Amino acid sequence: MTSAPPVLPATRSQPLRGGPVLRWGVVAPGGIAADFVHALHTHTDQRVVSVASRSADRAAQFAQQHGIPRSHGGYAELYDDPDVQIVYVASPHSEHLRLATDAIAAGKHVLIEKPIGLSAAEARAVRDAAADAGVFAMEAMWTRFVPQTDVMMQLRDAGDLGELRLVTADLGFAAQPGGRLFDPQLGGGALLDLGVYPVWLSHLLLGMPESVRATGALTGTGVDEQSALVLDYASGAQALLSTSIRVTSPGRAAASGTLGRVEIDPFFVFPSGFSVSRGDETARFDDRSGLTYRQGMAWQAAAVARHVDDGLLESPLHPLQTTVEVMTIIDDARRQLAASGA
């Protein structure tokens, strides 16, 4: 039996140039902060005007490398800088809550690297602090803003996939033992660092599950090394998710409905493309921007600038309640793994 070929809509992702511009400050400069600043300065009109670290030398070196006019050997100086409109928090997960709420208390908008904190309770604390202060706050779930996610969501919302019944997603990268990912004090483990992406995707497509079942293994330091999650929904739909810091997995994701299926190219978190199938007919969406890997953070920054310019306190695409619910799922899975002594 054949079906009509899927018709792919045009992407509605925020244009990278020509829109509102924010003056950004970066706290805790490291690898992901370097990629973020490079994406902004290379592909958008956004500009980082200040950087802060606990080490003045490290901040100065980062500023010189990335063409940032000011650097500080302490975070308070950046928060007090009247030229900084928004703070990007790029520290280890364990510091997200403290650094974000300090910036919020100083009246700054915040974009906080994912996961927003160590738990749903920390996510709620950031949400409530930002609401009380009247500033914009968002978790940096940048994959929500890349073009393939927007086009896929248009297909889902138009009913082109029918009723979604199964979401599958995996993300694993082999990590060197002994680093941050193995340190429980720094929020180590696969679920917080990598599993947040598959869990977020399942939530984006299916919402909040009725139940979470998790199995896996722990490292010698007690953090989750690898896990598989089954999420069950009231509709009868399921999500099958996996993550690992022990091995590198294919990084695939798919959403299967009663009328069609989307298969996102690996690694699904980066700018890429997907195939959509309906019956015997298949169509392709390919991201033609030329942006790869973490360069895709550029769309997130442009979208945040638009949200702030529009006077919003949250992103309609990735609201803080979504962050809270994703963290609630991860909390549940981490409790199960810890209780099992895996």
> Cα–Cα distances in Å, from 188 out to 195, 197, 207, 296, 313?
12, 15, 26, 24, 30
Tell me where in the chain the CATH 3.40.50.720 domain(s) lie.
23-143
Per-residue pLDDT, averaged over 28-41, amounts to 97
pTM value is 0.95
- The more confidently predicted of residues 306 and 9 is 306
Residue 4 has pLDDT above 70, yes or no: no
| Cβ pair 229, 332 in contact under 8 A | no
Structure tokens at 131: 């609401």
Output the pLDDT for position 1.
Answer: 47
- Structural fold of domain 147-286+318-340: Dihydrodipicolinate Reductase; domain 2 (3.30.360)
Among candidate residues 101, 329, 336, the one with its CA nearest the CA of residue 197: 329
**Helix/strand/coil percent split, the chain, to 5:** 40, 25, 40
pLDDT confidence of 2, banded at 50, 70, 90? low
Per-residue pLDDT, averaged over 58-81, amounts to 97
Output the pLDDT for position 327.
Answer: 98
Residue 176 has pLDDT above 70, yes or no: yes
Report the alpha-carbon distance of residue 27 to residue 217 in Å, rounded: 33
What does the pLDDT look like over 220-252, one tens digit per residue? 999 999 999 999 999 999 999 999 999 999 999
Tell me where in the chain the CATH 3.30.360.10 domain(s) lie.
147-286+318-340
Residue 342 has pLDDT above 70, yes or no: no
- CATH number for the region 23-143 comes to 3.40.50.720
Give the list of residues 6+ apart from residue 263 with CB closer than 8 angstroms, or none: 252, 253, 254, 274, 275, 276, 277
Per-residue pLDDT, averaged over 57-68, amounts to 97
What does the pLDDT look like over 125-143, one tens digit per residue? 999 999 999 999 999 999 9
| Cβ pair 298, 35 in contact under 8 A | no
What does the pLDDT look like over 93-131, one tens digit per residue? 999 999 999 999 999 999 999 999 999 999 999 999 999
Output the pLDDT for position 341.
Answer: 74
Per-residue pLDDT, averaged over 280-288, amounts to 93
Give the residue ranges of DSSP H helices in the chain. Answer: 31-43, 56-66, 75-79, 96-105, 120-133, 147-157, 190, 196-206, 297-309, 320-340
Whole-angstrom Cα Rg for the chain: 20
